[in-house]
Amino acid sequence: MSFFAIGSVSCQVADSTTISNAEFKKISADKHVVILDVRTADEFKDGHIPTATNIDVLETDAFNKYIATLPKDKTYLLYCRSGKRSAKALAVMKDNGFANVKHLQNGFSGWDGAVEK
């Protein structure tokens, strides 16, 4: 009689929607990519990634109305302070039919690129 022990193997699969600074910079070099800063207006005024448009994901109605006006076939790069709000915004956009949405790992607090005020 033989028997096989099957152990539980845990492996973390990389989330393809969460991207590094290097990937964010590379993708955002395409002039057709839309960068959305989903932080508050005050956070945005304190500094943001160049060419980003500010729309606060915590203002749910305004955020939903805004994304309803966006073309769904474009590539969207999202960020917030740490990655939590941009992950929420990404989920909302995916639920609304946006196919190509990614967000910045560690958010603006981990950003090492150009900053505009």
Calculated CA dihedral for residues 28, 33, 39, 40, nearest 10 degrees: 120
What backbone torsions phi and psi does residue 102 show, to the nearest 5 degrees? -135, 160
Catalytic residue among 80, 87, 90, 101: 80
Q: What is residue 97's DSSP assignment?
A: T
Q: Which of 25, 50, 26, 53 is nearest to 39 (CA)?
A: 53
Whether 80 is catalytic is yes
Active site residues: 80
